[in-house]
Amino acid sequence: MQQKTIDQDLTGRTLAELAAGIPGASRVFREHRLDFCCGGDKTLRDAATARGLDPELLQDALRQETSEEGTAEEMTAAELVDHIETRYHAAHRQEIPELIRLARKVETVHREHPNVPAGLTTALEDGYARLDAHMSDEEAVLFPQIRARTDALLDETLSRLREDHAEHGELLGRLEALTNNFTPPEGACRTWQALYTGTEKFVADVMEHVHLENNVLFRRVSA
C-alpha cells in the first residue's frame, strides 16, 4: 500500500484500511481525534468532515508518513497474535496497576482541588477488570485457534470479543473526560502529571490494540 499511497486518492478509503496499511496513520488519526478502532468503517472523507477537518490536509499528512518495516498487513495472523500479546496484553497488565496507584494517590492528596479527577481510580479499576477478563478470553480461546490454524473459528467468538471492544471504547471516553483530555491543572504535582501522561499512553495503546484486532486480525481470520 505504501507505494500506492503516492498517487492514489486516500480520502475514499476507510480509516481501518489506512491505519492497517500506512505505518504512522494511527498516530495521525489519534492526533486529530478520529476513531479508527471502533469507528474504522468510515471513509477518511466522512470521518474528517464530521469533525470539521479538511480531508485533503489529512491525506497530505498520511502521504508524508515515511515507510517503515513490518506493518500489520505484512504479518501472518500468528505473528500478529504474538505481537498483540507482547506489545499490548503484557503492557496493559504492567501499566494499569501503576496508573491505579497514581490515581488513588492524586484523588486522596488533592481531594479538595476543584480539578481533582474524582472517580478516575474506580474507572481504571473497573476498566482493568473488564479488559483483563477480555484478554484472558482471547488468550484462552481465539489465539490458540489462530496459532493452530484450525478452521473452527467461531463467528460467535469474534462477535463476543467485538462487543467487548466497543465497551473498551466507552472506557476510553470516560478516561478522557475525567482527565480533561489528559490535561493536568496548572501547578499539578509530578504524580498528577505522571498519572495523566500514563493514562494518555494507555488510551493510545488500547486504541491501537483494538484496531489491530478488529480491523486486521479478526477480518483476516473470519475471511
Angle (CA) 100-120-214 rounded to 5° is 80
Considering only 24-32, 57-65, 73-81, 207-215, which stretch makes contact with Fe ion by CB under 5 A? 207-215
The radius of gyration of the chain from alpha carbons, rounded to an integer in Å, stands at: 19
Nearer to Fe ion, 137 or 176 (CB): 137
Rounded Cα–Cα distance for residues 104 and 41 (Å): 37
Cell matching residue 71: 506493518
Cβ 126 to Fe ion shortest distance, Å: 17
Sign of CA pseudo-dihedral 67, 69, 74, 77: negative
Question: What does the block give as the cell for 185?
Answer: 491543572
208 binds Fe ion (CB under 5 A): no
Distance in angstroms (rounded) separating the CA atoms of residues 88 and 94:
10
Q: Which stretch binds Fe ion (CB under 5 A): 107-115, 178-186, 198-206, 210-218?
A: 210-218
Site mask for Fe ion (CB under 5 A), range 127-156, x = bound: -----------x------------------
Q: Write down the least CB distance from residue 2 to Fe ion, Å.
A: 26
Q: Interface with Fe ion includes 213 (CB under 5 A)?
A: yes
Residues 66-125 that bind Fe ion (CB under 5 A): none
The nearest distance, CB 123 to Fe ion, in angstroms, is 19
CB nearer to Fe ion: give 107 or 138.
Answer: 138
If you count DSSP H runs as helices and E runs as strands, how many of each does the chain have, helices first? 12, 0
Of 45 and 87, CB closest to Fe ion: 87
Residue 222 gets the label, from left (phi > 0), alpha (psi -120 to 50) or beta, of alpha
Chain contacts with Fe ion (rule: CB under 5 A): 138, 213
